[in-house]
Amino acid sequence: MNGMKKIINDIMFITGAALVILAIFSLLFSVEISFVPTIFEIFAANIVIILGLYLREKFEIRNLIIEYLVDISYIIAVLVVFGLIFNWYHAVPVWLLLAMAIVIYIFAMIFTATKIKKDAEELNKLLQKRQENQADNAS
C-alpha cells in the first residue's frame, strides 16, 4: 500500500511540475497552448512515465550515468509518442518538448535527492536518540 501511495504522490508531483514548467516555457517562447485537454494528456503521459521508471528500478544498472541516460531516453520516448498521439507538435516544437523533459527530470532528481537527505538526517537523529536512551537505561 505504501508503494502505491508513493507512485500516486510522484505522479501528482511530476504532473504539477510539468504544468508549471510548460506554462513558463509557453510564456518564454510565446507558445499558445490549450490547457484543459493538455492537463489530462500530460497526466496520462506522467502515469506512463512514472510506472515505467518504477519498472526500470527493478533492474539494477550499476553505472549511474547509464541509469540516468536510460531514464531520460525513456521519458523522451514516451513524450514523443504522446506528442504524436495528441498532436502536441502543432503548438510546441520537438526540441522544446525535449528541453522541458530534461528540465523536469533534473528538477525531480534534485527534489528526490533533497528528500532522501532530509529522511536520512531524520533517521540519524532517531538512531542517535535511541542510542542515548539505551545508554541512559544501561546506567
- What is the DSSP secondary-structure string of 28-43? HTT----HHHHHHHHH
Domain count, the chain: 1
Instruction: Convert the pLDDT of each residue in 112-137 to its tens digit.
Output: 888 888 888 999 998 999 888 888 88
Decide if 134 is inside a domain.
no
> Between residues 98 and 138, which one has the greater pLDDT?
98
Decide if 117 is inside a domain.
no
Decide if 67 is inside a domain.
yes
Q: Residues 6 or more apart from 41 whose CB is under 8 A from it?
A: 82, 86, 88
Decide if 79 is inside a domain.
yes
The answer to whether the pTM exceeds 0.75 is: no
Do the beta carbons of residue 116 and residue 130 sit within 8 Å? no
